Amino acid sequence: MRRAEREAAYTEFVAARRDQLRRIAYGMCGDWHRADDLVQVALVRLYVAWPRVARSGTEEPYARKILLNAAIDESRRAVRRERPADVLPEVVAPGGLSVEDRTSLVAALQTLPAQQRAAVLLRHWLGLPVAEVAAELGIAEGTVKSHTARGLSALRGRLEEADAAEPA
């Protein structure tokens, strides 16, 4: 494949998947600005690997894996753990939820460890099968199941605590 064809294929892929990657990044970090940064990092890394990835036909899973790894790497940086209290978070979640429910869900999701968060997002937000999540995260299928179960249990608990704490 010629360079112009590769770049056209890459540009087409980015145009089709950028919004989805941004939503995944937001689910991982809970901040739209950081999500944009993560997507940018992922797309740069994808561009470098594009000839190899395009030949194998694994563009989408590879892009998600880069994105998830970038989010995990970013979360390990001490400067990213600081969060100003006077800035209100932007919120987005699947339709049908109220703003308060979406805010609670995103906040609860951010409290999960990175691997659990990634497993929950890939399994329940994107609806990927266990085997595909395991391949993307580089972990065993049983680990995906346990991360997902523990993550969902923790989310339920945190959301129930938030509901109980709200004034009636």
The pLDDT assigned to 78 comes to 55
pLDDT one-digit tens code per residue, 50-60: 999 999 989 99
* pLDDT single digits (tens) 73-128: 877 765 555 566 566 556 544 456 677 777 778 888 889 998 999 999 889 888 88
Domains of the chain, each with CATH number or no CATH: 1-90 (1.10.1740), 97-168 (1.10.10.10)
* pTM of the predicted protein model: 0.59
3-state secondary structure 7-49: HHHHHHHHHHHHHHHHHHHHHHHCCHHHHHHHHHHHHHHHHHH
What local confidence, expressed as pLDDT, does residue 11 receive? 94
